[in-house]
Structure 1
Amino acid sequence: MLTSPKPLKDVFFCPEESNFYSYCLQSLVLNNCLSSETIIEFGSGDGSPVINSLSKLKFDGVVHGFEINKLSCELANERIKVYGLSDKYIVHNRSLFDTTKPQGDYLISNPPYLPAIDNKIYQPFLHGGTDGITVTKQLLSLDYKNVLAMIASYSNPVGAIDYALTKGYHIANFIISPLNFGYYSSELKVKNRIEELKQEQKAFYSKNMYLLAGVLFTKQSDRQANLSTELVQLMTCL
């Protein structure tokens, strides 16, 4: 398992969440990829999820990651070199939104989804807007054919799914895992906002646990399954 030597305030560090993102990437994307496909990643963090996935599977394409946090980008590229993946994983220190849209077969992301009134929280890079899905909606607006996004049950999951449907996506597949509230989501400012969203029926969780889903949205006509109703039911069951 990759570990982070950086303080939690400097570089996102949550092994449970990163490992689940890696598993979703392997199961929903890489296992279905052709060898020459290009993957675009928003928010690479320290690179561990993609590095873990590429280390386990044969993939002859390229993943281009975009990470705005300079320390995270440096750490990711250090690890990429150590694992000998420099020809398969390239992390750029800039925002995907500030770049001419790069071409790719998939867009993947564990996007910032902490809900808070503003980004003055312990890890500002994790701020996902007032309901946690602002960045997710921006990613879905980029119009990639396939999008793998992580969606939290306490961050307006129904709103995220409904927005994807309005953009012409359907849900090809998904994986759900229960996670405990961690260091970042337990910050008082974030927890208070999550409680407000629960009162508005936009957040779903139990005392110590929420659900995280890796969701593969697609516009491909050969993938006709639309699992949106099933996903909504599961994400709102807590």
Structure 2
Amino acid sequence: MKKSRANYTQQANEATPITNSVTGQHITMMQYDQLVKEDPYAYHLIPNYDEYGQPSAYTMRQATAEEHETHRFRDRDPAKQPKVGQIIAPFVMTGLDDKLYRSSDLLGKVVVLSFLISLEKSFWSNQQADDFANVLKPYKSNSGLVVLGVLNSEQAKAPEQTNGNALPFVPVPNAYGFHNKYHITAVPTFIVIDKTGKVVSNLQGVGSYEKLKQILETTMR
């Protein structure tokens, strides 16, 4: 995802830990500002996201030649996405239902993290809603399945306002940080987590519903 320096310095302050990726030494925001005083795009701050999807620290690195020329930075690395067989990095998400979804509390349940852009019609179509609902239909009344819609957007509409249909997941609005934390590079992305907290699949694209159906049939047993 592309992000300018200004967005990061607005979030960071003098108390925010910053580590120089080359030296491994900690620097202050004042020292960082001095480094970029002559050239604002020479260096870049990469947020390190905590379990709440919030930047808790930063790593400073030198910009690549392309980033320096375009003034745009790419922080998401597909190689750092959740991998099958690994325990999911801890998360605490707040749903639009005002409930707190903590990964450690969800052990014993199968969890589907559905990474989406928005619930606006241009991003979440009736066909997508129907396809997803059909995948989840066999488990509609199964309390052992938790499905979260992790939205990249700032706001989320209430379910009854979304294309006139009930949503097949609990929306988690304002979740841009979680998209960054898990290095999501395509939407939709479906990350399925088994009852032990391990990732069992990382599916990407609108054509993933059939594969998701097969994964759930196995994982929900």
TM-score range, shorter-chain basis?
A: under 0.3
TM-score normalised to structure 1 length: 0.26
User: Between Structure 1 and Structure 2, which shows a larger proportion of strand residues?
Assistant: 2
User: Between Structure 1 and Structure 2, which shows a larger proportion of helix residues?
Assistant: 1
Higher Rg of the two aligned structures: 2
TM-score normalised to structure 2 length: 0.27
